[in-house]
Amino acid sequence: MKLLIVESPSKAKTIAKYLGGEYEVRASVGHIRDLPKSNKKAIDIEGGFVPHYEISPGKEKVVQEIKQLAKKADTILLATDPDREGEAIAWHIKEAIDLKKAKRVTFHEITESAIKEAIKHPREIDMNLKEAQEARRVLDRLVGYDLSGIIWKKVRYGLSAGRVQSPALRIVMEREREIRAFIPVTYYVIAGEWKTHGRAKESKTYTLGLECDIQPKEKPEADRIVRLGRAHAWEVTDLESTDVSRSPRAPFTTSTLQQTASSRLGFAPSRTMSIAQKLYEKGLITYMRTDSTTLSNQALGEIATTIEDVFGKNMLEVRTYKTKAKNAQEAHEAVRPTHASTRYAGTTDDEKKLYSLIWERTIASQMKDAKLKRTKVTANIIGSKETIPDFSVTGSIVTFRGWLEADPEARGEDVILPELSIGDPLDLQTLQAIEKQTQPPSRYTEAGLIKELEKRGIGRPSTYASIIGTIEERGYVEKINKALVPTDTGEVVTSFLEDNLGEYISDTFTADMEEKLDKIASGETTYLKTLKDFYGPFLKDVKSKEKLEKATNLGEAPAEIKCPLCGAPMVIKLAKNGKFYSCSRYPDCMGARKLDGSVMEGPKSLGRKCPKCGDGDLMERDGRYGKFIACSNYPKCKYIEQDEEERKKKLTGVSCGWCSDGEMEERRGKFGVFYACTNYPDCKHAIKAKPTGNRCSICNELMMEGTKTIPERCSNKDCPMHNPHKLDSKKK
C-alpha cells in the first residue's frame, strides 16, 4: 500500500480522484502538534530553546488512524503545503507518528499533472525550512509571553502583545495621532457650467463643467474671481490632446489579492483567504500564499492560447513582473488559475466571484496596453483688465481596450468632451465659490493596512489576515465603516510599549527579524544562533522594566471634572470597556465618571468580609452577564459569587444526581452556555445542553435538550442514547 498525507480533507478528496486507487490519501486536518499553553513547559530555553510539543486536542484519533495506515504502507509521502509552515507540519507528522521512511513532495497547484510529477521527485524534509518556521513560532511565543507579562503587571491584567501584532497596532495608532494632530486649512473651490454649441451642422448644445486651476485660500480672492467671471465673456484659450497608455497590473500575490477583493468585492482578508483555500483545494487556483508575481513557462503558454482564442492574437503581449514587496520570496508562482482556459469556476457565489477576479487579473497581465485619448480644455475671461486663474476640464476616452477587455471593471467611465477649437465662445451659466477644508489622512482599512505591512516588511503572506484578525479580536481596534479605529485599550497598550520597549515593535526590528528567519530557511544562519542573539538582550530589557511604577493613571482629568462623591480632582484610568475618570483618592474614595462626565455607579460594598481571603470586602459589581459579588482584593483574591436574584433566574430545578443536594444551573464559559452543579468546585458535574429533568433508561444520567429531529439525548457521550444511530445499530 502507498500512503499520501496532506492537511485538508477536501484537498485529500481532490488528490485521491487524480491518483485513483494507487495511493491511500489521508488528511492531518492542519497541525497535529503545538506548544502547550504554559510557557514554562513549552520551551527549554537553557537547553537551547528546545520546544516541547504536544498532540493538539482533538487530533488523537487522526494520529492513531495515520499510524495504523503507516504500518501497512510501503511508501509514505508527506504532501503538505509548499511553504515553511507546510514543511513544519510534514515534520510534525513524521515525528509524532515515527515515520522513518516518509518522504516529502510539494506542488503549487492541485492538478493531475502537477500531482503525478511531484510524486516522481520525493525528497527529504527540508530542515532549514522547518527550523525557520519553528524559530518564528518560538520567537512569537517568547516575545508575546514576556511583553504580555510586563503589560499585565504595569497596565492591566489580561492584555497581550506580540512580535507582529504590536507593530501592526502601532501603525494604526500612528495614523490616528496624525488625524488628531491635523489642523484643517480652509480653501475655496470655484466651479461653474458653460454652454457650447455644436460645430458645423450640429444643433446640439453641450454643458461644460470647469474648475479653477488654482484654489484660492482667502475669501476675498475667491469673491474677486467669481465677480470678474460673471461680468465678462468667456472663450476657449487652449486645447491639449495626448495619447496615453495604461499598462495591466501584475498577477496577484497574497497581499494584492486581499486588497483587491476588499475594494471590489467587499471581502475581509480572512474571508478572502478562506475562499482562496477552498479554490486551491479543489484544484482551481495555484497556492494562495505567495509574494511572487512570477508565472511559469507552462502557464504563460496556456494564458497566451486563451488570449488568442478569446480576445484575438492582436491582444497578446507576454510580460514579466518584478515583485516590489520588501524581503519577498520568489520561489512560488503568483496566484493564478490552474487552467487558464477555464473562465468561470467555483461552487458558491463567493468562490465564483473570487475565481473570476483571479482569472481576469491573470489574463489581463499578459495583454497589450489600453490606449486612451486625453483632452484638456482651458478657458478664461476676455476683455478684462484684471486677470483670473485659468479654468479647465479634462476628458478621456478609451481608443483601444487592450487588457481592459479581460478586466472591464478596471476601466472606469469615459469622459467625453465636445469638439472645440481655441477661440470658441463659451456661455456662462453658473459660477460659484464653495468653501472647503483640507481633510486629515484616512484611517487604514484592512486592505490598506495589509499594503502598509507588506511595504514595511512586517509579516509574510500567510500571516496578514491573522495579524488583523488578532488585533480586532483582542479589542485593540474596531472596524467602523471599513476603517480600523484604535480603541482606548489599543492606544494604552501601544503607548506603553512605545515608551518602554519601543525597539521591539519598530519597523526595523520586525523586518530585520523576518530577514533573519529567511536566512535560517536558506541555511545562511542557524536556529540556535538567531534565538540566542535575540533573547538575551530582549529578556534583560524586559526585566529592567519591572522597576517601573504601575501605569494605573493615564493622566489628569480636565480641571472642571470633579469626583461626584468627595469633590477631589480626578484622573484618567483604563477599564475593560475603555477609559474613565476615577477619583484621585482611590481606593479611599470610589467615585468615578464616564468620559462624557456622567456619574458611574461603582461597586457597592455589602458590609461583609470575603470568606476566602478574610481581608477584602465583598463588593456587588455589574458584569457582562449581570450582577455578581466579588472580593475587593481582585485579582489577588478571585472569590466570586453570583447575586442571589440573578442566580435564581439561572437555576433549572433539576437535581444534579452526582451529589446529594446540588442543582444544575446555567453558566457561561469560553465556548458559551453550559449547565453545571451548584456545588462546584466540590462537585464538577457539567453538561453541554439544558437538562430536561428526565434520566436515561440505560445509564441513568441526565437527559438534555437535543435538536428538532432528536428532542432528547443522554448527557453521557459513551451511552448509546447519546447517539441514536448507535442505539439503532445495537438493536439491529
Q: Which residues pair with 687 in a beta bridge?
A: 675
Q: What three-state secondary structure class fits 185?
A: coil
Alpha helix ranges (H) inside 445-579: 446-456, 464-473, 488-501, 507-522, 527-544
Residue 84: all three cell numbers together: 515553511
CB 343 within 8 A of CB 350: no
Q: Which residues are catalytic?
A: 287
d(Cα 704, Cα 687) in Å, to the nearest integer? Answer: 8
CB 501 within 8 A of CB 541: yes
Alpha helix ranges (H) inside 575-638: none
Residue 464 phi/psi, 5-degree rounding, is: -55, -50
CB 610 within 8 A of CB 637: yes
Q: What three-state secondary structure class fits 177?
A: helix
DSSP assignment, residue 719?
Answer: S
d(Cα 69, Cα 83) in Å, to the nearest integer? Answer: 26
Q: Which of 1, 19, 25 is nearest to 78 (CA)?
A: 25
For β-strands 50-51 and 477-480, DSSP reports them as: unpaired
Q: What is the pLDDT of residue 726?
A: 45
Residue 640: all three cell numbers together: 466570586
Q: What is the pLDDT of residue 329?
A: 52
The answer for 495, left when phi > 0, alpha when psi is -120 to 50, beta otherwise, is alpha
pLDDT (tens digit per residue) in 349-387? 999 999 999 999 999 999 999 999 999 999 999 999 999
Query: Strands, DSSP E only, in 73-153?
Result: 75-78, 103-104
CB 182 within 8 A of CB 440: yes
Q: What is the pLDDT of residue 261?
A: 95
Residues of the chain with pLDDT under 70: 39-40, 198-204, 324-331, 602, 622-626, 642-644, 670, 723-732
Q: What three-state secondary structure class fits 100?
A: coil
d(Cα 418, Cα 704) in Å, to the nearest integer? Answer: 76
d(Cα 474, Cα 118) in Å, to the nearest integer? Answer: 41
Burial 640-659 (b: 16+ CB within 10 A, else e): eebbeeebeebebebbbbeb
Question: Domains of the chain, with CATH numbers?
Answer: 2-125 (3.40.50.140), 136-182+442-547 (1.10.460.10), 186-247+370-437 (2.70.20.10), 254-364 (1.10.290.10), 570-645 (no CATH), 651-731 (no CATH)
Residue 160: all three cell numbers together: 497581550
d(Cα 146, Cα 39) in Å, to the nearest integer? Answer: 10
Residue 260: all three cell numbers together: 483587491
Residue 529: all three cell numbers together: 544562533
Determine the straight-line distance between the first and last CA of the chain, rounded to whole angstroms.
Answer: 34
Residue 37: all three cell numbers together: 499553553
CB 37 within 8 A of CB 144: no
Residue 127: all three cell numbers together: 530542515
The owner of cell 499553553 is: 37
Residue 718: all three cell numbers together: 459513551
pLDDT (tens digit per residue) in 388-446? 999 999 999 999 999 999 999 998 888 888 888 999 999 999 999 999 999 999 999 99
d(Cα 700, Cα 678) in Å, to the nearest integer? Answer: 20
Residue 665: all three cell numbers together: 444551573
Chain mean position to CA 269: 5
DSSP assignment, residue 663?
Answer: E
From the CB of residue 520, how many other CB atoms can be counted at a distance below 10 Å?
Answer: 25
Q: What is the pLDDT of residue 549?
A: 81
CB 370 within 8 A of CB 400: yes
Residue 728 phi/psi, 5-degree rounding, is: -60, -45
d(Cα 280, Cα 266) in Å, to the nearest integer? Answer: 21
d(Cα 462, Cα 258) in Å, to the nearest integer? Answer: 11
Q: What is the pLDDT of residue 5?
A: 95
Q: Which amino acid is at 355?
A: Y
d(Cα 597, Cα 583) in Å, to the nearest integer? Answer: 13
d(Cα 477, Cα 484) in Å, to the nearest integer? Answer: 6
Angle at the Cα of 211 (from 209 to 217), degrees rounded to 5?
155
Alpha carbon of 496 to those of 151, 444, 490, 549: distances in Å?
Answer: 8, 22, 10, 12
Burial grade of 398 (CB within 10 A; 0-12, 13-18, 19 or more): middle
d(Cα 64, Cα 140) in Å, to the nearest integer? Answer: 30
DSSP assignment, residue 412?
Answer: -
